[in-house]
A and B are shown apart, each in its own frame.
Chain A
């Protein structure tokens, strides 16, 4: 199942080439399609509860001696004797918990689900409830159709009721099953929410429960926060946020990871949703977690903070106050390119803010690692870095632009003009053009032109005039025309402008001018010799 969570798809603040402050704040919904493989470092949508036979002698003992074939299982499950039912359900659960090739399809096709759902309700037999919940958990971890089969058999309501079961193992398994169902997508997620699962789940959170249980609850909560179009309703979010804030203070890595993922989903939206998250006060802790050495904590906390800085100036300011800019420089140098990319993405959105934000960005030393990424980063990272520079250039003051240029941004930027991505090339051309204009204001244009030529920029821009993408070609043409047509004369006269026609050879059009104005200058010229 393709995830829809690759960063390109999420909101990116888009103030690039904005005209005035109010327009700059525009956000852009990026293309919501992916050609790429789903990301490997994202959070699991669904999880199967797998029996690890060798390392779990206890469960081995528990299930000793029961090994039935499929037909025996079908018969047993449909029997009326609770013991037979239990044995068959357990056998089915064991098959479904095999590490390799669990027969999900067979079990679903055998029509066992309705009976399993019935077993959930047999409160007199908690062991049966447990086995049934486990089996359903694993079925729901399958394809969308398999999850759908579980939901359509009416499993949600009894599972929610099991959240109040006095038996913790049953309760925990129900949490897990609900998590798988909610993970399928917004539709089932909302079914779980409307079955009133949230208050029951939240009630389970306490300091006394085992850590594995708490992890399961956190993970299920994160699935209840997950997915957009539509988002989970605001009421549900409001219910969950205080608990998520609480969980964020925990020490356990998995709890932290899933809490951060939950927050990343909640913050992946409009400014109002971002505001809900920010107002919880999670930012200082999130920024702290961004320094974690655990990738599964770092990734979602960085993602969340990245989402937050797509928000309003104020929301971004809160993130800056929480110290995001102190952490980003290190993350830009992180050994993992996916982290570099997310960090650069976050930085690009800070750079899209007012010039005070840009000033802080400079003060925190983000420019040197940014330039290093432009130089040596992977393409996907370089792309984000280019966006950062573009936003910086659009919103920065002249002084800030000077600092940007002094940080050595131009050379790697110019080298990227050969990249096979017309959008990025256009953005770089626009950046160059803005920098040249700034240089013009400082009467430094000549030096800037020389610098760009020195680093090979003029050759590359000239070549781009022939680019097949008309916008790239036109942008390149305009830069050449406006800035590189001719070297300035060594005299105090105004600059020498070569006609545009030189760079865009066109056939001469006939004007069909009436030659009515025959002029003769020599008529009436009387020279005194």
Chain B
């Protein structure tokens, strides 16, 4: 159906567009719905284009352009087997007009249309839009930089995918085409723009436009040079690199901005040039070599002259990273080895960028979560400090001695400054600690902290003289940044500082759990947690429960109190420290359990309203499990107290279907149920039918926990189930059937089936046995994986043990009469194997999951014991079969070979020979 390109239609469309801007959803929603309902009509996009060009109302123009872009985004792509959502005539008309329209529109609309062009280009360029490039290049001649920037922006959005796509014939054909049409005009434009910059050096507004062009040109350079060094750019390297170099050293007061936060045009351009130089240095070293030293000098001068403001951050970190990547390459070593050069880099590039800035201070106080993430977890890739740190490590590769020497002097002088007037000069000490840290650490892990240190730095001496005194001061809230630094020092050098010093610091850390600063008490909790996981000789924990015993009460009190400090109510570091303390202290916590479990349950109840911190929640459940295990190990009867404390909250969680928590709840319940020594309590039996509801099993994340819980039911209550809930057995088997059908979950199905076979009274499952085997065979035929075969063999073994080989033979005969059991087994082995690589079954897991949210979260401390119903895993089923036959033949010599040769067909016999050979056994 077509809509006319009439004034009436334009008027109607205008009205509806206006309504889509209404804040009232009652007006907005129907208008949006209406537009969606008519967008399939021919001419709809052309009406939008007409509006965005000709409407009198500027708001409508912008609104039409946004609507148009979204329309293109939703509909342009032609999906196989789906109807083409935009008619051909409209497509042609759009492509014929959009570039011109984009270029003649004001900037706000230009951006929308530029986006639309790149979406169309992604589908149609180059084949179905052959004249796009020429059309764009021709505009370079216009001399109108408003138009030129529009073209450059569009080109950038079209070409930027060259930066991340894999090399392919198709991609490279396109790039070649683009290079042929675009590289020369771009180069000429680059030169012309630079010339214009000098002729307009005194015209601020002209300069701003020209520099925007230069930024886009530099970005295009990066995209076009990314996949490989094109012939054209190799031939024209001189032009590009000389101009890039000039631009790096250029400054113009007119382009400087007052804004402290937002990077200005000059910074953006220079940052991009650093990226371009880094790309060439990294990938095209041979060709770029002769330009590199000049760039090193320019970039380093740039660093020396650039200020501390946040707006320079990206530029500075890019520039430092460039130096860091160059200085560790053997053939550029000579650029850095001069003592004066090294001193100047240390003094003017590294030290200033390690200083704690106002912005850091702000983050420390007001955005502590982000600060911790950057500082502790290393997500500080783009920060100045990180870049400076990387440069230190890079330089240390060849110049460890000199660099350490230069910095030692610095550290001492900064510490002296601090000592003179701590309250004013505390930032000097912060920088000193940071410098020592970056200098000393060569390799680091979360688990062990620093694992390789610079031997030229005396870490223990520094600890005793400069770290401990800060932490010993009575006021935990004084100089919070320095406290955090000190705690972090303990954390990362815990393997270098001797144990006796660490032991001294433990009460100090416990004390700092009370600090008001979120960073400080979080670091204290984290440091304790890390210390408690350290290993000593014999692989035992470095600190024993006995050594920590004197602090148990204060430790637990302060940890739980820390959770009440503002901003830390769901602090995962604290919760993890709680879990770790429980684990380390074991029985020592039993006297405190009543209080602890009350506090934990309250916490659980509170967070279950809106679970938002997955790590926090996980550790909380781990802590609950630990409380149960530790207590019930000493006193199994205490399990009822836990049930009493927890079931109220659990009920609420299950009733409200708090999806994140349900798998945890089932695991905790399994642990509780397994703790019961006698038959299953009736309270659990009431829950049993609910566990078989299909809807629970739809969520992949529930499955392992549910299977485990059902196993616990079967282990403890098989008789009860057989007598009181026999009608639920088909439901149980239904679960088994569902699980067995999935390649990701089939092993879970076997866990369940094995528990049924192992624990249920035989007569209660008699009637289902044949059906079970039929299901297994069906799955085998549809898709056979190694994992499935292994599980199947375990099951068959278990079945034999439980019901006897004869029963197995009967079942096989019942399903496949006339084929001897042995031959059927061999048939199983030799079925074509499923193509899916078993090792990669986690992919299936992810893909089968709607979204990712339902994944299972296993609790370590809910500790399901490994249970193997057969006694030993069958690693190679074929060899296992050969060995079993061998055993049988030694028991009754002579009989097996004849039995085998009469009962097996030739093919099966040949396979069997292979198995026997592989197992290096013969039949007697």
What is the chain B residue whose CB lies nearest that of A477?
A: B846
- Residues 297-322 of chain A: 1 if any B CB is under 8 Å from the residue's CB, otherwise 0? 00000000000000000000000000
Is the C-beta of B3 less than 8 angstroms from some C-beta in chain A?
no
Inter-chain pairs besides A456-B443, A491-B583, A509-B851, 12 sampled, C-beta below 8 Å: A31-B172, A35-B179, A376-B329, A426-B166, A453-B444, A454-B451, A467-B164, A478-B843, A493-B860, A496-B858, A496-B859, A515-B655
Is the C-beta of B53 less than 8 angstroms from some C-beta in chain A?
no
Q: Are B857 and A497 in contact (CB under 8 A)?
A: yes
Instruction: Say how far A341's CB is from chain B's closest CB, in angstroms.
Output: 10
Q: Are A31 and B168 in contact (CB under 8 A)?
A: yes
| 18 residue pairs from A and B, CB less than 8 Å apart | A35-B176, A35-B227, A37-B231, A378-B286, A379-B285, A419-B283, A437-B839, A491-B861, A493-B863, A495-B860, A497-B858, A501-B855, A506-B852, A508-B851, A515-B657, A516-B695, A519-B690, A525-B643
Q: Are A337 and B857 in contact (CB under 8 A)?
A: no
Residues of B within 8 A of A469 (CB): 164-166
Query: Which of B681, B842, B857, B861 makes the CB contact (< 8 A) with A498?
Result: B857
What is the chain B residue whose CB lies nearest that of A468?
A: B164
Residues of B within 8 A of A33 (CB): 169, 172-173, 176
Residues of A within 8 A of B330 (CB): 376
What is the chain B residue whose CB lies nearest that of A30?
A: B167
Residues of A within 8 A of B168 (CB): 31
Residues of B within 8 A of A521 (CB): 647-648, 650-651, 654, 683, 686-687
What is the chain B residue whose CB lies nearest that of A518?
A: B655
Q: Are B682 and A524 in contact (CB under 8 A)?
A: yes
Distance of A458 Cα from B693 Cα, bound (Å): 41
Contact A450 to B169, CB < 8 A, known contacts A35-B179, A495-B860: no
Is the C-beta of A32 less than 8 angstroms from some C-beta in chain B?
yes
Is the C-beta of B769 less than 8 angstroms from some C-beta in chain A?
no
Q: Are B164 and A422 in contact (CB under 8 A)?
A: yes
Residues of A within 8 A of B681 (CB): 525
Residues of B within 8 A of A472 (CB): 164
Q: Which of B275-295 contact A (CB under 8 A)?
A: 279, 282-286
Give how many B residues have a beta carbon under 8 Å from the other chain's beta carbons: 90
Is the C-beta of A19 less than 8 angstroms from some C-beta in chain B?
yes
Distance of A522 Cα from B682 Cα, bound (Å): 11
Is the C-beta of B622 less than 8 angstroms from some C-beta in chain A?
yes
Q: Interface centre among A32, A37, A499, A521, by most B CB within 10 Å?
A: A521
Size range of the chain A interface in the assembly: 35 or more
Residues of A within 8 A of B647 (CB): 521-522, 525
Is the C-beta of B228 less than 8 angstroms from some C-beta in chain A?
yes
Q: Are A514 and B644 in contact (CB under 8 A)?
A: no
Residues of A within 8 A of B864 (CB): 494
Distance of A501 Cα from B660 Cα, bound (Å): 10
Instruction: Say how far A2's CB is from chain B's closest CB, in angstroms.
Output: 8
Query: Which of B169, B226, B690 makes the CB contact (< 8 A) with A31?
Result: B169
Q: Which of B736-780 contact A (CB under 8 A)?
A: none
Q: Interface centre among B283, B329, B640, B693, by most A CB within 10 Å?
A: B283
Instruction: Say how far B494's CB is from chain A's closest CB, in angstroms.
Output: 14
Q: Are A502 and B614 in contact (CB under 8 A)?
A: yes
Distance of A364 Cα from B501 Cα, bound (Å): 49
Contact A519 to B860, CB < 8 A, known contacts A376-B329, A502-B614: no
Is the C-beta of B801 less than 8 angstroms from some C-beta in chain A?
no
Is the C-beta of B880 less than 8 angstroms from some C-beta in chain A?
no
8 smallest CB-CB distances across A and B, nearest first, come from A496-B860, A468-B164, A454-B443, A525-B683, A453-B445, A499-B857, A500-B855, A469-B164
Q: Which of B162-199 contact A (CB under 8 A)?
A: 163-169, 172-173, 175-176, 179
Distance of A34 Cα from B534 Cα, bound (Å): 54
Is the C-beta of B922 less than 8 angstroms from some C-beta in chain A?
no
Residues of A within 8 A of B121 (CB): none
Q: Are B229 and A36 in contact (CB under 8 A)?
A: yes
> Which of the candidate stretches A145-153, A254-262, A342-350, A482-490 sits at the interface with the other chain?
A482-490
Is the C-beta of A421 less than 8 angstroms from some C-beta in chain B?
yes
Residues of B within 8 A of A501 (CB): 614, 852-853, 855
Distance of A32 Cα from B168 Cα, bound (Å): 9
Distance of A469 Cα from B230 Cα, bound (Å): 22
Is the C-beta of B18 less than 8 angstroms from some C-beta in chain A?
no
Distance of A321 Cα from B822 Cα, bound (Å): 46
Residues of A within 8 A of B208 (CB): none
Instruction: Say how far A388's CB is from chain B's closest CB, in angstroms.
Output: 18
Distance of A422 Cα from B447 Cα, bound (Å): 30
Residues of A within 8 A of B235 (CB): 37
Residues of A within 8 A of B583 (CB): 489-491
Residues of B within 8 A of A506 (CB): 851-853
Residues of B within 8 A of A32 (CB): 169
Residues of A within 8 A of B852 (CB): 500-501, 504, 506
Q: Are A494 and B863 in contact (CB under 8 A)?
A: yes
What is the chain B residue whose CB lies nearest that of A377?
A: B285
Residues of B within 8 A of A22 (CB): none
Q: Interface centre among B176, B231, B701, by most A CB within 10 Å?
A: B231
Query: Which of A38, A426, A468, A516 makes the CB contact (< 8 A) with B163?
Result: A468
Is the C-beta of B72 less than 8 angstroms from some C-beta in chain A?
no
Residues of A within 8 A of B473 (CB): none
Distance of A471 Cα from B835 Cα, bound (Å): 21
Q: Interface centre among A478, A498, A500, A504, by most B CB within 10 Å?
A: A500
What is the chain B residue whose CB lies nearest that of A459?
A: B378
Distance of A493 Cα from B622 Cα, bound (Å): 12
Residues of A within 8 A of B163 (CB): 420, 468
What is the chain A residue whose CB lies nearest that of B617?
A: A499
- Residues 509-529 of chain A: 1 if any B CB is under 8 Å from the residue's CB, otherwise 0? 101011111111111111110
Q: Are A498 and B615 in contact (CB under 8 A)?
A: yes
Q: Are A500 and B850 in contact (CB under 8 A)?
A: no
Is the C-beta of B310 less than 8 angstroms from some C-beta in chain A?
no
Q: Which of B672-698 contact A (CB under 8 A)?
A: 681-683, 686-687, 690, 693, 695-696, 698
Distance of A19 Cα from B850 Cα, bound (Å): 28
Q: Are A517 and B696 in contact (CB under 8 A)?
A: yes
Distance of A423 Cα from B229 Cα, bound (Å): 16
Residues of A within 8 A of B230 (CB): 35-36
Instruction: Say how far B582's CB is from chain A's closest CB, in angstroms.
Output: 11
Distance of A499 Cα from B855 Cα, bound (Å): 5
What is the chain A residue whose CB lies nearest that of B614?
A: A502
What is the chain A residue whose CB lies nearest that of B625?
A: A493
Q: Are A524 and B683 in contact (CB under 8 A)?
A: yes
Instruction: Say how far B442's CB is from chain A's closest CB, in angstroms.
Output: 9
Q: Interface centre among A454, A471, A472, A487, by most B CB within 10 Å?
A: A454
Is the C-beta of B381 less than 8 angstroms from some C-beta in chain A?
yes
Is the C-beta of B446 less than 8 angstroms from some C-beta in chain A?
yes
Query: Which of A489, A514, A528 makes the CB contact (< 8 A) with B695?
Result: A514
Q: Are B533 and A487 in contact (CB under 8 A)?
A: yes
Q: Are A519 and B231 in contact (CB under 8 A)?
A: no
Residues of A within 8 A of B75 (CB): none
Is the C-beta of A236 less than 8 angstroms from some C-beta in chain B?
no
Distance of A138 Cα from B918 Cα, bound (Å): 69
Query: Which of B378, B451, B657, B859 makes the CB contact (< 8 A) with A513?
Result: B657
Query: Which of A35, A337, A459, A468 makes the CB contact (< 8 A) with B231?
Result: A35
What is the chain A residue whose CB lies nearest that of B172?
A: A33
Instruction: Say how far B521's CB is from chain A's closest CB, in angstroms.
Output: 22
Instruction: Say how far A145's CB is from chain B's closest CB, in angstroms.
Output: 20
Instruction: Say how far A198's CB is from chain B's closest CB, in angstroms.
Output: 34
Q: Are B448 and A35 in contact (CB under 8 A)?
A: no
Distance of A528 Cα from B683 Cα, bound (Å): 13
Instruction: Say how far A522's CB is from chain B's closest CB, in angstroms.
Output: 6
Is the C-beta of B413 less than 8 angstroms from some C-beta in chain A?
no
Residues of B within 8 A of A499 (CB): 614, 618, 701, 855-857
Contact A487 to B447, CB < 8 A, known contacts A494-B864, A497-B856, A521-B687: yes
Instruction: Say how far A348's CB is from chain B's closest CB, in angstroms.
Output: 17
Q: Interface centre among A378, A453, A525, by most B CB within 10 Å?
A: A525
Instruction: Say how far B185's CB is from chain A's closest CB, in angstroms.
Output: 18
Q: Which of A70-125 contact B (CB under 8 A)?
A: none
- Residues 414-427 of chain A: 1 if any B CB is under 8 Å from the residue's CB, otherwise 0? 00000111110010
